[in-house]
Structure 1
Amino acid sequence: MNAEYDLFVIGAGMAGTTAANRCASQGWKVGIVDTLPYGGTCALRGCDPKKILRRGAEIIDDARLMHGKGVNQNGLTLDWPALMRHKHGFTDDIPGAMESTLKRNGVSTFHGDARFVSRHHVDINGEQHSAARFLIATGARPRPLEFSGQELLVDSTEFLNLEALPRRIVFVGGGFVSFELAHIAARAGVECVIIDHGTKPLRAFDPDLVDLLVRRSEQAGIRVHHSTSVSAVTHTSTGFHVAIERDRATSNIDADLVVHGAGRVPNFDGLDLEAADIAHGPQGIDVFGHLQSRSNPYVYAAGDAAGTPGERLTPVAVVEGKVAASNMLKGIETVPDYAGVPSTVFTIPELNRVGMLEQEAARDGREISVRYHDTSGWYSNYRIGETTAATKVIVDPATDLILGAHLLGPGYSEVINTFGLAIKLGLTTRQLKSVTATYPSVGSDLGSMF
């Protein structure tokens, strides 16, 4: 068709900007739009600012672990406003820098609300633009909650921009967001409570290691309520009442702030996907494995907006953005490779996973060998005073291949990458053990984890 653009991207996060830059570099006329500042959740409202704030919490925790072992922690405090300024020193420049790069590569940039009006037309602030193809990469938003007063909660974006921390915070939900933010706030002296509807939080991770992390969280001053639901949140003269229910018994928790950490859903607000015949569901846009819409062949999707089997992680969004761009440019149907992608809960210490859980491998009918180690007494953890650390590696004894790796401990978010590489490339435990690592380092522990 005779369109204004070869490709129009909706969403200027990592998936969208990756695809826009790649297609523009091949001579395509590309447009991109976002309601929010360019950069996406990870760089501006998630992974990156969260881990900068976590650094302050790490220092506090490290000092406490070494108290009586040569470090005097008395008087050591977390200066939240200064830490927040440090965070802004990174995040504030990202939108402008990202938009400048797009423009330099020839991409036309827009700001505002996008809405489909046909298969090939999108309306932005009352002005229509036509494109031969669209890529939807609009990310995710906090999922709607169903109790009275849910509008009183703040989300992770608002938490990561707090000018000051309150004395008492309740986190609703037992996932990544609640645990990561609670571990930061608790090290700043905040009374933190996590309300988890299920019997065990962080259900995507190894349950034995989750149990250890929950105990470590409680040692840090975080109370975790299991099998508990929130029935209402109400204003009080001093903050909020959070009404909770467990085993048909009700009670209240007082809080100064209540944070939504109960999961996210694809963000299609205002897009009017039906106007462009774009089928979608709770998991995202209904796409083939190669990321093309099943109902509208002119549309592709990537990242949290796409209903793919990939984890909802920034590196996966980048991969999908690259694959979608390549498929559109070349007219091919490459499927992204999701093997060996690790995920981490950046608590203190961090919880990691790559590959299969023990129960998943068992359900798959595989013969497995489970290699579990309590690593709290290993040199790398003794050195820093950490008393909670463990690893579990799932191995196929017939092939010596690693099916899954699960690590809880300081610095293990780096080690999990090696396990991811091993799964992706089909390396055996014998091959990994044959590597001579620099010593003493956390990475040198890897050969003893099998």
Structure 2
Amino acid sequence: MTETFDYDLFVIGAGSGGVRASRIAASHGARVAVAEEFRVGGTCVIRGCVPKKLLVYASHFAHGLEDAAGFGWTIEGKQFDWAKLRDFVASDVDRLERAYTSTLDNNKVDHFHERASVAGPNLVRLASGREIRAKHILIAVGAWPVMPDFPGNEHAITSNEVFHLKAFPKRVVIQGAGYIAMEFAGIFNALGAQVTVVNRSNRILRGYDHDLTERLMAMTEKRGIEYRFDSPICGIEKLADGSLRVALDGHDPIEADVVLVATGRRPKTVGLGLEEAGVKLGANGEVIVDDYGQTSVPSIHAVGDVTDRVQLTPVAIREGHAFADTVFGGKPRTTAYDAIPSAVFSQPPLAAVGLTEMQARDTGAEIKVFTSDFRPMTNMFSTQVERGYYKLVVDAASDKVLGIHMISPEAPEILQAAAIAVKAGLTKADFDATMALHPSMAEELVLMR
């Protein structure tokens, strides 16, 4: 007897990966439904890269207004209104949620606005109690901020809550030194807060090229950001006036109005019923999958941050698309994880693709390193005399460019095109043969000798 299903695909999680998988599977003729317990759009759209980037743009005006005098502008009466910015960002998140919901509707994807869990290899249970049978189940619930266990941690916030602050804080303590921590440090610093970054280790942005991170730290210190290394938070006390006293391991306490914890994100698999259904999880709670996104249960799959492979939105989208093509489109394909470009929207931003200098040397191959240290024209009248720095890591034997690393204004915008060269395996000679576009910062990529 043929088994019947309510849907060909049921997706748990309507973030970037889940929505893409739903849309593509539906375009292949599958009957698709998706459940989302919070808001359609997921971390990136609702409480991540999109609203954060809007705050970054807003904070750039602080520097721009300062520098305007050098370009002949007189600006009087400038002031900043946090509530106005906060509410504008929230309204744009609303707009994007409507757009993502429309994508589901336009592709005839049913959506349930409630929590869903896995009740068996082909069974989904909604919070309302309804059970739905699906031929395939896709887990796309993403990850969730980690909150360390210390006394008073209920007084700290994560990147989930930072977009909803009622008032702009004058003093901010940020625990962590990854990309989320460094981006919000730059935002709050530019908008006028006193920012202190505290970190368990003694460096920032682990995984990025050391030359870039050292320069970024020096630049941000000149902009007024303070650092406390080898000193994680060991407690927070709320004072009578509502402010916070932050106790540090190995340093004097710091008083703050807001404490933001940005110490990483963990796959959001608790309570999903995966292990009970036979799905194997990793040590960090991540869903273990093969190259095609299939779990230890053939009918259950996973994409995006919940797999803890590469926690980036474009990666989740590629994985979701590849899954749908493989399972419903008759076109099996995987996602390539080499030469993934990444950026930190710090101030100034940095961007990278491929191997760092240290990673390349660790392979044992002989390498050549080319650098450009320059002052961007946009900084000529700036009160912050900051230099740009680009680095090419090249294999000496083949001349292939193994990595590109940049810190400068607009570095992420420039790197996206440059990443094509690394992915394509182009050589340093190809860069040298390319005519420069002058005057631009990007021309430094083809002028290194």
Shorter chain as denominator, the TM-score bin is over 0.9
Deviations 1:248-301 (A, max 9, x none): xx42111111111111111113212112211112162111122111x1111111
Q: Separation in 2 of the partners of 1:266 and 1:190?
A: 32
AA aligned opposite 1:306:
T
Of 170, 174, 195, which aligns to 1:171? 174
Structure 2: state its 5+ residue gaps. none
Q: Separation in 1 of the partners of 2:411 and 2:315?
A: 20
1:243, 1:253 within 8 Å by CA — same for their partners in 2?
yes
Question: What is the deviation of 1:444?
Answer: 2.6
1:216, 1:388 within 8 Å by CA — same for their partners in 2?
no
Q: Secondary structure at the match of 2:7?
A: coil
Question: What is the deviation of 1:105?
Answer: 0.8
AA aligned opposite 2:380:
Y
- Greater displacement, 17-26 / 413-422: 413-422
Question: What is the deviation of 1:340?
Answer: 2.1
- Greater displacement, 29-38 / 216-225: 216-225
Q: Separation in 1 of the partners of 2:157 and 2:205?
A: 21
Residues 1:277 and 2:275 are matched in the alignment: no
Of 108, 111, 128, which aligns to 1:109? 111
Deviations 1:62-111 (A, max 9, x none): 33345556455664333222222332332112222211221221111011
Structure 1: state its 5+ residue gaps. none
Q: Separation in 2 of the partners of 1:285 and 1:373?
A: 42
Q: Separation in 2 of the partners of 1:222 and 1:72?
A: 28
Q: Secondary structure at the match of 1:391?
A: strand
Q: TM-score, normalised by structure 1?
A: 0.93
2:47 aligns with 45
Q: Separation in 1 of the partners of 2:257 and 2:378?
A: 39
Residues 1:244 and 2:245 are matched in the alignment: no
Residues 1:396 and 2:395 are matched in the alignment: yes
C-alpha change, 1:66 and 1:208, in structure 2 (3 Å) is: farther
1:370 aligns with 369
Q: Separation in 2 of the partners of 1:403 and 1:380?
A: 29
Of 182, 191, 196, which aligns to 1:193? 196
Q: Secondary structure at the match of 1:227?
A: coil
2:25, 2:32 within 8 Å by CA — same for their partners in 1?
yes
Deviations 1:316-365 (A, max 9, x none): 11111111111111466522112221111101110111111111111111
1:340, 1:422 within 8 Å by CA — same for their partners in 2?
no
2:376, 2:408 within 8 Å by CA — same for their partners in 1?
no
- Greater displacement, 80-89 / 156-165: 80-89
Question: What is the deviation of 1:208?
Answer: 1.7
Q: TM-score, normalised by structure 2?
A: 0.94
2:28, 2:329 within 8 Å by CA — same for their partners in 1?
no
Residues 1:214 and 2:217 are matched in the alignment: yes
Of 223, 227, 232, which aligns to 2:230? 227
Question: What is the deviation of 1:48?
Answer: 1.1
Of 113, 121, 124, which aligns to 1:122? 124
1:76 aligns with 78
AA aligned opposite 1:361:
A
1:13, 1:39 within 8 Å by CA — same for their partners in 2?
yes
Percent identity over the alignment? 33
Question: What is the deviation of 1:172?
Answer: 1.1
Q: Secondary structure at the match of 1:115?
A: strand
2:71, 2:381 within 8 Å by CA — same for their partners in 1?
no
Residues 1:297 and 2:298 are matched in the alignment: yes
Residues 1:57 and 2:59 are matched in the alignment: yes
C-alpha change, 1:418 and 1:386, in structure 2 (3 Å) is: farther
1:400, 1:429 within 8 Å by CA — same for their partners in 2?
yes
2:286, 2:308 within 8 Å by CA — same for their partners in 1?
yes
Q: Separation in 1 of the partners of 2:191 and 2:76?
A: 14
Q: Separation in 2 of the partners of 1:194 and 1:17?
A: 35
- Greater displacement, 142-151 / 178-187: 142-151
2:266 aligns with 265
Q: Separation in 1 of the partners of 2:432 and 2:376?
A: 17
AA aligned opposite 1:186:
N
AA aligned opposite 2:355:
M
1:28 aligns with 30
AA aligned opposite 2:444:
D
Note the aligned Cα RMSD (angstroms): 1.9
Question: What is the deviation of 1:390?
Answer: 1.2
Q: Separation in 2 of the partners of 1:95 and 1:379?
A: 38
Question: What is the deviation of 1:435?
Answer: 3.0
Q: Separation in 2 of the partners of 1:361 and 1:74?
A: 51
Q: Secondary structure at the match of 1:2?
A: coil
AA aligned opposite 2:313:
T
Q: Separation in 2 of the partners of 1:243 and 1:73?
A: 41
Q: Secondary structure at the match of 2:275?
A: helix
Of 379, 382, 389, which aligns to 2:380? 382
- Greater displacement, 85-94 / 130-139: 85-94
C-alpha change, 1:371 and 1:73, in structure 2 (3 Å) is: farther
1:85 aligns with 87
